[in-house]
Amino acid sequence: MAVLAVIVVGCEASGSKSGATQTDPAPSSRRGDNGGEPIEVFSWWARIGESDALGALTVEHQIHYPEDSILNATSELSGLARKTLRSRMDHGEPPDTFQANIGRDLMRWVLVNGIDDHMSKLMPLDGIIPDVAEWRQHMPAALIREVSYRGKLFAVPATVHRLNEIFYNRAVFRTYGLEEPKSMEDLVGIGRKLSGTSVVPIAVGSREPWTLELFVFECLLVSREGPAFYDAYFRGASRPDDPRILATLRAALDFLPYINADHGDLTWLQAVDMVISGRAAMTVMGDWALVSLRARDPAQFTDYGEVAFPGTEGTMVYTSDTFPLPLHARNTAGAIRLLHTLGSVAGQRVMNRAKGSLPARLDAEPPDGPMFQKKRQLLEQGPLVLALSGLVPAGFADAVGQALEEMTTQHDIEPVVQTLRSRYALLR
């Protein structure tokens, strides 16, 4: 899909005009940047139905900065967005701010030389944005740590998503007498019960292979071996062919009969559409899938259910959308104002309601619903482990994702084992 650019000015978004108090930045930063030039935001946040996180944020921002307009450069697919961003950053043509997952996905632009921040393409926010001290006070220490280097903050966390989740079609479950899976045995049982029917048990879209990494490692591995092993393994503290990894890969192959055969041709959005249409009973996906489901279910989950991946109920495998301040941005002053809004209580409230995610600020209430309350409790108390985008280098993740695709085609774990053996040193 081509990258689209649209100017968002005064968009309407439900619940966007909050009465929450904000701390204004210094008056000198409120006006006079670049002659009214738009603030360019580069992201893979796309409007789906009535859900428009950036539009909601824009409305809130323009309450305080009515002269600002926001240029939203978006792509629905994160892989395409990252490739385009890499090209722009390498050519010294950065957007004014951009979306990056917390951890390594963000810090690659700080540790450009692989050693320290001397060649950083991002500006530290300390001393530039007055809100930094407030963010440190009201955001979990785990989030602050993953956007910092040597005590300097390089981005504001805007959202928090949980990855280890299953979404299911309630009507399909009723028709076939299925219950929410509470164990791996339950999940396999659903697969067996639906075998021979027209309904795919688990919809997967692996056109971008990170979805296989989500299923195999961020869900299945955490379920089988626990969050501590998952975290240690992907920080390079084990051996690449650890028996627990091999056993998890074999267990993943056991699920192939229950997954749509055309998964390599579909995106994760198309897999969610299979659940919406009833062609599939479930999909394993991060809770950003809520946006697509709610577009079809305005009553909010009368038709679709959400449950933690079996065996991971007490763990939150998480990512956070973060937004930094690039060096050589064209509208630095405008970007500073927008980062202020992104990190404010009101800004986090409106965009996370639209996006179906948790605010990164603990003093900004989460969206309504028991699942959000459970996720907020995990965010505050843990266990909390990073998604692979935050734990491993992009080159490692890309290679392992391609190997997982080969594994599903060949019905053999060896492509993944060989890739892990050859690339594991990158984690140390």
Residues forming beta bridges with residue 226, ordered by sequence position: none
* Residues 152 and 169 grouped into a single domain: no
What percentage of the chain carries pLDDT values higher than 90?
81
pLDDT of residue 108: 97
* Residues 39 and 83 grouped into a single domain: yes
Kindly state the tokens that stand for 407: 């594994």
* Residues 177 and 29 grouped into a single domain: no
* Residues 389 and 326 grouped into a single domain: no
* Residues 409 and 359 grouped into a single domain: no
Kindly state the tokens that stand for 315: 């763990």
Burial class (CB in 10 A: 0-12, 13-18, 19+), 272: buried
pLDDT at 19 > cutoff 90: no
The verdict on residue 32 lying in a domain is yes
Q: What's the gap between Cα 219 and its chain centre?
A: 14
pLDDT at 20 > cutoff 50: no
pLDDT at 5 > cutoff 50: no
* Residues 270 and 358 grouped into a single domain: no
* Residues 78 and 8 grouped into a single domain: yes
The verdict on residue 338 lying in a domain is yes
3-class SS of residue 7: strand
**Mean pLDDT to the nearest integer, 143-169:** 98
pLDDT of residue 74: 75
The verdict on residue 378 lying in a domain is no
**Could you read off the pLDDT of 239-271 as tens digits, one per residue?**
999 999 999 999 999 999 999 999 999 999 999
* Residues 75 and 220 grouped into a single domain: no
* Residues 189 and 269 grouped into a single domain: yes
pLDDT at 227 > cutoff 90: yes
Total structural domains within the chain? 2
Alpha carbon of 9 to those of 233, 262, 349: distances in Å?
46, 40, 19
CATH number at residue 166: 3.40.190.10
Alpha carbon of 20 to those of 57, 114, 341, 347, 363: distances in Å?
14, 41, 12, 9, 11
* Residues 120 and 199 grouped into a single domain: no
Q: What is the mean pLDDT of the chain?
A: 90
Domain that holds residue 190: 162-317+385-427
**Could you read off the pLDDT of 291-309 as tens digits, one per residue?**
888 887 655 557 999 999 9
Least-confidence region, from 121-130, 278-287, 292-301, 380-389: 292-301
The verdict on residue 380 lying in a domain is no
